[in-house]
Structure 1
Amino acid sequence: MKICFVLNKIEKEKAGTSVALMTKAHARGHEVFVMGVGDFNFEYGGTITLNTTKVPKSTTTKSPKKFLEILQGAKAKKKKVVSTDLDVLFIRNNPTEEGAERHWAEQSGIAFGRMIQSQGVLVLNDAYALSHAFIDKLYFEELPKEIKPASIITRNKEDILTFWEAHDKKMVLKPLEGSGGADVFLIDEHEKNINQIIKTISDQGYVIAQEYLPAVKDGDVRVLLLNGRVLEEKGEKAIIRRVSGEGEFRSNFKLGATADSSELTPAMKQIIDLTAPKLIKDGLFLVGLDIVKDKLIEINVLSPGGLERFADIGLPDFTDTIIESIERKLFYKQKYGGQLANKVLATMY
């Protein structure tokens, strides 16, 4: 297959989930193209072309770090590709990581993804689903209330303070559009800068005030779902516990959290069982769930990651399973012609 990965910027990419997936696709003999979110071209007559970068076909490395080194180096080849020549467009850029100077980049990948999807190219995750879930913390609020902590989304300081009072003066504040644990605060009764913190976050946009869960001190659990099911490979499940660093309540790897193993508990299974039908209906192929005990605290649909951390706890990287699933979707697409909609194919097992 011909598969193109859309990143924020190739030169800024790290050897994480996206690179692990493209390395595996290349190793399986597929033609892999890589582009930044600013590399789409819409030409007269309705043709969409992509300015892509390719690792030489002769490259045999299985190491994502080595693959990325070649991709970002002088050996990589530049190629303009017509969108309809692709089999798959895999949208992996994360809009929340764009700075103010690249505001234009936030919606571009999804917008062009919708256009390319309408041309018959398989787009993952489904581009219309990504549009609907673009603010994933707001999409999160559409899920059943029994699996979520209490929360309020607002820019009104008084409403936030009322919520704080109603929850024993202990809450978590975070921006509606953010990632990686940036600007996430634990606010308790001893916090003297609460007004300034609310202003700092609300200056960026909407604020989420969320019920504090005491179990967060033990970290959270990231569960990766593929086609609405727990991602599995070689009998192992893609579940990893993120243990917060000393004196830190946030359990993001970017903030020093460490990896540990975790079983699939009955509470996690209930959360997955209640979340999966919506993900399948919407066409969300690869999704990350962040769980604290019996509550889902975040859902990651834009660029879910963490595959590179599973080796830390002796698990496979799960890339074979993901690429095999994409191969099956193309097989179904070919056999059924145009009968299966993109969002159906996107979550077809």
Structure 2
Amino acid sequence: MKLLFVADPLVSFKTYKDSTFAMMREAAKRGHRILACEPQQLVWLRGGRVTARGAVEIALTGDATDWFTVTATADVALADVDAVLMRKDPPFDPEFFYTTHLLSQAQREGARVLNNPSALREHPEKLAILEFPQFISPTLVTRSAAEIRAFHAEHRDIILKPLDGMGGMGIFRVKDDGLNLGAIIETLNKDGAQTVMVQRFIPAIAEGDKRILIIGGKPVPHCLARIPQGGEVRGNLAAGGKGVARPLTARDREIAEYLGPILAARGLLLVGLDVIGENVTEINVTSPTCFQEITDQTGFDVAQMYIDALEESLA
């Protein structure tokens, strides 16, 4: 098969932990051809098809630093490859949104795109949890400072975060004393111009913010618990959290087995649930990670499970 990865620049990959690289490596091992482009290379012209201008075909070298060589460069219509894998990292900004529309046009022309671009648009990673209130902690979504203050008065210990953040950016905790709540609200909601998510603080964050991967509707049997370090409230690896692989708990499996088939039916081949304690805090669909950390610590080959599911979906 010929697989086109729409991703960040290849030279920026940290191959020792990059999940897209793990996918490429497993696909290449099976003899699939690997092509890559960045979102800005996608072009549509009336009378033509959505095309990746100057897409590169690569061979993997096995070297940790110079990990690929370019074997060919060409303009490639997305409908002419077997699958287009959308692996651009967040944030889900306007350009990401526009890219999903180009990918939807490519679908209309016959391309197979995973994750499904319309599903990417319909599942913003923080707001997607609202569909499943039975699995989430007390949560508020609002622009209103008064609503946030009322939520704090009720729950006393809260987390506030922007809807477009990633890697733990912009997350604040406000305890019972309400210290700096006003300043934090002003920072995040920009005088009512931006929507904020507020959640009751979950003490189980001390045990880790668990990333549970769902592939083809089925959970990977191990999660990666990202444990806050050094007094941090954030477990994100990008914020210095320590990643520890663990078997899924009964609650983890209950959540994943309920959500998995629903999300897979919407064209989401790969999903990353963030779970703290017994509560889902995010549903990640843009470019879920943690493949290599789980594989390295448990021996369970996540990339192998992913490429198996990809091949099955294309059969």
The answer, yes or no, to whether TM exceeds 0.5 is yes
Q: Which residue of 2 aligns with 1:33?
A: 35
Q: Percent identity?
A: 27
Q: Which residue of 1 aligns with 2:58?
A: 55
Question: Which segments of structure 1 move beyond 3 Å, counting only runs of 4 or more?
Answer: 8-14
The alpha-carbon distance between structure 1 residues 243 and 104, as it changes in their structure 2 partners (threshold 3 A), is closer
Question: What per-residue deviation string (whole Å, max 9, x for no partner) do you get for residues 77-106 of structure 1?
Answer: 422112221110011113417xxxxx5522
Separation in structure 2 between the aligned mates of residue 277 and residue 50 of structure 1, nearest angstrom: 32
Q: Which residue of 1 aligns with 2:223?
A: 239
AA aligned opposite 2:125? D
Q: Is 2:156 the counterpart of 1:156? A: no
1:33 to partner: Cα distance:
0.7
State whether residues 79 and 107 of structure 2, in contact with CA within 8 Å, keep that contact through their aligned partners in structure 1.
Answer: no
Q: Which residue of 1 aligns with 2:157?
A: 170
Q: Which residue of 2 aligns with 1:78?
A: 73
1:189 to partner: Cα distance:
2.5
Q: Secondary structure at the residue paired with 1:38?
A: helix
1:76 to partner: Cα distance:
5.7
Matches for 1:313-324 after TM superposition, within 5 Å: 313-324=297-308
State whether residues 181 and 252 of structure 1, in contact with CA within 8 Å, keep that contact through their aligned partners in structure 2.
Answer: yes
Q: Is 2:80 the counterpart of 1:96? A: no
Structure 2, unpaired ranges of 5+: none
AA aligned opposite 1:303? S
Matches for 1:244-263 after TM superposition, within 5 Å: 244-263=228-247
1:247 to partner: Cα distance:
0.3
Q: Secondary structure at the residue paired with 1:262?
A: strand
Question: What per-residue deviation string (whole Å, max 9, x for no partner) do you get for residues 128-147 of structure 1?
Answer: 211211x221111111x221
AA aligned opposite 2:2? K
Separation in structure 1 between the aligned mates of residue 229 and residue 308 of structure 2, nearest angstrom: 36
Q: Secondary structure at the residue paired with 1:153?
A: strand
Matches for 1:162-311 after TM superposition, within 5 Å: 162-167=150-155, 169-203=156-190, 205-231=194-220, 237-311=221-295
Q: Secondary structure at the residue paired with 1:146?
A: helix
AA aligned opposite 1:124? L
The alpha-carbon distance between structure 1 residues 137 and 198, as it changes in their structure 2 partners (threshold 3 A), is same
Count of residue pairs brought into register by the alignment: 310
Q: Which residue of 1 aligns with 2:134?
A: 146
Separation in structure 2 between the aligned mates of residue 312 and residue 24 of structure 1, nearest angstrom: 15
State whether residues 141 and 195 of structure 2, in contact with CA within 8 Å, keep that contact through their aligned partners in structure 1.
Answer: yes
Separation in structure 1 between the aligned mates of residue 94 and residue 140 of structure 2, nearest angstrom: 28
Q: Which residue of 1 aligns with 2:26?
A: 24
Separation in structure 2 between the aligned mates of residue 191 and residue 315 of structure 1, nearest angstrom: 45
Q: Which residue of 1 aligns with 2:2?
A: 2
Structure 1, unpaired ranges of 5+: 98-102, 232-236, 332-349
User: RMSD between aligned alpha carbons?
Assistant: 2.0
Q: Which residue of 2 aligns with 1:120?
A: 110
1:271 to partner: Cα distance:
1.4
Separation in structure 2 between the aligned mates of residue 325 and residue 296 of structure 1, nearest angstrom: 24
Question: What per-residue deviation string (whole Å, max 9, x for no partner) do you get for residues 29-58 of structure 1?
Answer: 1111111110111123132211212224xx
Q: Which residue of 2 aligns with 1:343?
A: none
1:292 to partner: Cα distance:
1.6
TM-score of the pair, normalised by structure 2? 0.91
The alpha-carbon distance between structure 1 residues 49 and 171, as it changes in their structure 2 partners (threshold 3 A), is same
The alpha-carbon distance between structure 1 residues 283 and 131, as it changes in their structure 2 partners (threshold 3 A), is same
State whether residues 4 and 83 of structure 2, in contact with CA within 8 Å, keep that contact through their aligned partners in structure 1.
Answer: yes
> Which residue among 26, 42, 45 is the counterpart of 1:43?
45
Deviates more, 1:278-287 or 1:148-157: 278-287
AA aligned opposite 2:197? I
TM-score of the pair, normalised by structure 1? 0.83
State whether residues 7 and 94 of structure 1, in contact with CA within 8 Å, keep that contact through their aligned partners in structure 2.
Answer: yes
Q: Secondary structure at the residue paired with 1:261?
A: strand
Separation in structure 1 between the aligned mates of residue 235 and residue 152 of structure 2, nearest angstrom: 22
Deviates more, 1:210-219 or 1:307-316: 307-316
